Structure 1
């Protein structure tokens, strides 16, 4: 008999981005390996902050996709920079979760995604039970990450978030962390807590690689969320374009700033391509020389999932984010590293990248490392054994 598992998350396809991809892959992987999986998630709205077409004017939407039952609940959708509106959005989803918990039978095994902290707290608080196996999947360390990003200050609200964070960890039977730094942080609070390193490894067929045709300039691509944390607008303004092209795919809070900058500087080789689906993106990425992975500030506990996805695509990477991600790039020979926050060093590193070093053999070696070391199926087998 299949084991019942409920996954509670704030992000799920058709929403785009690492968070939704990560949870869908976990749900799909478990469903294909003797688990009966259901998902609780808001009506899709990320990153636009507006309910997607086909889901509007609905309080609840239930569907079955790849044998996974998906319950989409009402949310006051917003991507506003106004903290009050964003809090209202999280509270609205939390209220929908409480309503769902009251009227539906909840499986014994529940996986809760964190952040958002408040949504995770709602789930951990209302579902805590000695007979229930609560698994907390921690992808970023909040409130620490918010402090490092400048989104939070050390005040009363911050102390409350720290208390919520501790409550969530304390009441979890198992904590999944996407980085060693996350697990170290958890164990520093609760030394006996059961933890598991769960990287965001992708699970798609590695493409057949071909040599990229040189155009004379180094073709650098960024693909993903155009948010404050990524700092793509700052990147556009700080790069030396004498030997490079910059191609950008994605959407997010900084999109209008980036589009305006590109429009106002037609002399610069910056190309904004907008948002595309993940399936559309993969073949597009293969025509570029290197992929850049930036963070505006080093964020403790963060290891961008793009590292593992690009590696499976055989993409050489330029990492500009600091922290544990640097170790992954260096230890697996996946590309180049520039000092986090130092745009002078970034331009220096770029100027030293030789076109002749971007060989097909190098791409193949990167892909081989990903297939051998960043293996989703092997990781899932280990996870299955402990849940």
Structure 2
């Protein structure tokens, strides 16, 4: 998003934390830096200190969000100095929109909320808190306060938009990150292995993604399939140990690769798997679009709008998070039917060309922002 705004000639700055994703850890040097200015692709980035947390523990997450809020609060005056017109705030973290509200009220800056997960709804789905709890009621009031003060709300899914509308706010629009169709193009290059079906997972190796459970439940050797895993996260070490302990020759844990190499890796495999251990209302894995754009079929092991997209465009097969038997059957079906694979792959690419082109999605956002300012 920042790069596209910069391409359009806008002055773009980013406020964020020190990097800790997906490992959940800061580097030793970052622990002792309260703020740090840097550049990424020629865009100024102001990084701030926080106590990181990647665990499914609501208290630790709130502490992490609070420390990030405090450190970023000290940079608010920078917004006034630079005379910014708009601040786009990512939520969660659920603490950060308060900075946007303060900037709006004090400096007259337009506030756009980019809602990637519905907090506290997501916390209920993940069983971190109960819907009838005091914590939920407080967080839900805070959520509605943010929506009330936002000039525009961006969501990544229709499901999130419907939820936000249902609680009384109709200023939301679906902004799908989509895929860079020029980079993620169908490839004829496949893996050197001609006897096995090559399946790839690329992404975060977190508890919510369930890759450790997946390799425990599915015997890939028995279905002549090799699962290639690329990524990092809190389950990386456990996955590595399990593969070595069980001597799994058909599950390969690769080292991480830079984003610029993702399309090359995807293009070497027969299909991509996307796994979600828990259903969380409104969430939609962005890597779905990139795999579809590559023209390879999708095995979506999860629920929600991501699964609905796969079904709608018939670009792969789906299974619920607990139904490993169906996942296994889906893998076997794709591995034995190259005609199905080719057809599903083409369907995915066609859907991206029509609906999930990143450039087209950004143009829609740009048009909506122009309307927002023209109505001022």
TM-score with structure 2 setting the length: 0.88
CA drift at 1:362? 5.3
Partner of 1:153: 130
User: Does structure 1 retain, via aligned residues, the 8 Å contact 2:302–2:320?
Assistant: yes
* Residue aligned with 1:245, SS: strand
Give structure 1 stretches of 5+ with no counterpart: 1-25
Q: Which moved more, 1:353-362 or 1:28-37?
A: 353-362
1:324 matches 2:302: no
Which of residues 181, 196, 216 in structure 2 aligns to 1:217? Answer: 196
1:110 matches 2:96: no
Partner of 2:260: 279
User: Does structure 2 retain, via aligned residues, the 8 Å contact 1:49–1:79?
Assistant: yes
Q: Which moved more, 1:46-55 or 1:30-39?
A: 46-55
1:88 matches 2:69: no
Q: Which moved more, 1:61-70 or 1:207-216?
A: 207-216
Q: Which moved more, 1:66-75 or 1:352-361?
A: 352-361
Partner of 2:212: 233
CA RMSD of aligned residues (A): 2.3
Q: Which moved more, 1:203-212 or 1:42-51?
A: 203-212
User: Does structure 1 retain, via aligned residues, the 8 Å contact 2:87–2:100?
Assistant: no
* Superposition pairs of residues 325-344 of structure 1, within 5 angstroms: 325-344=306-325
Q: Which moved more, 1:206-215 or 1:265-274?
A: 206-215
CA drift at 1:222? 0.9
Determine the C-alpha separation between the residues in 2 that align with 1:81 and 1:146.
Answer: 9
Shift of the 76–267 alpha-carbon distance from structure 1 to 2, 3 Å rule, reads: closer
CA drift at 1:42? 0.9
User: Does structure 2 retain, via aligned residues, the 8 Å contact 1:206–1:367?
Assistant: no
CA drift at 1:129? 5.6
Determine the C-alpha separation between the residues in 1 that align with 2:105 and 2:207.
Answer: 34
User: Does structure 2 retain, via aligned residues, the 8 Å contact 1:121–1:167?
Assistant: no
User: Does structure 2 retain, via aligned residues, the 8 Å contact 1:108–1:133?
Assistant: yes
Which of residues 90, 99, 119 in structure 1 aligns to 2:96? Answer: 119
Shift of the 143–344 alpha-carbon distance from structure 1 to 2, 3 Å rule, reads: same
Partner of 1:187: 165
Partner of 2:23: 48
Determine the C-alpha separation between the residues in 1 that align with 2:310 and 2:228.
Answer: 22
Partner of 2:374: none
Give structure 2 stretches of 5+ with no counterpart: 370-376
Determine the C-alpha separation between the residues in 2 that align with 1:321 and 1:81.
Answer: 19
Q: Which moved more, 1:356-365 or 1:218-227?
A: 356-365
CA drift at 1:119? 2.1
Which of residues 45, 50, 66 in structure 1 aligns to 2:41? Answer: 66
CA drift at 1:319? 0.7
Determine the C-alpha separation between the residues in 1 that align with 2:249 and 2:40.
Answer: 44
Shift of the 125–164 alpha-carbon distance from structure 1 to 2, 3 Å rule, reads: farther
Determine the C-alpha separation between the residues in 2 that align with 1:200 and 1:297.
Answer: 22
Shift of the 187–236 alpha-carbon distance from structure 1 to 2, 3 Å rule, reads: same
Q: Kindly tell me the number of residue pairs found equivalent between the two proteins.
A: 361
User: Does structure 1 retain, via aligned residues, the 8 Å contact 2:91–2:117?
Assistant: yes
* Residue aligned with 2:280, SS: coil
Which of residues 373, 377, 385 in structure 1 aligns to 2:359? Answer: 377
Partner of 1:166: 144
Determine the C-alpha separation between the residues in 1 that align with 2:165 and 2:248.
Answer: 51
Deviation string 1:99-120 (CA, Å, 9 cap, x unpaired) is 1114551523111111111222
* Higher share in helix: 2
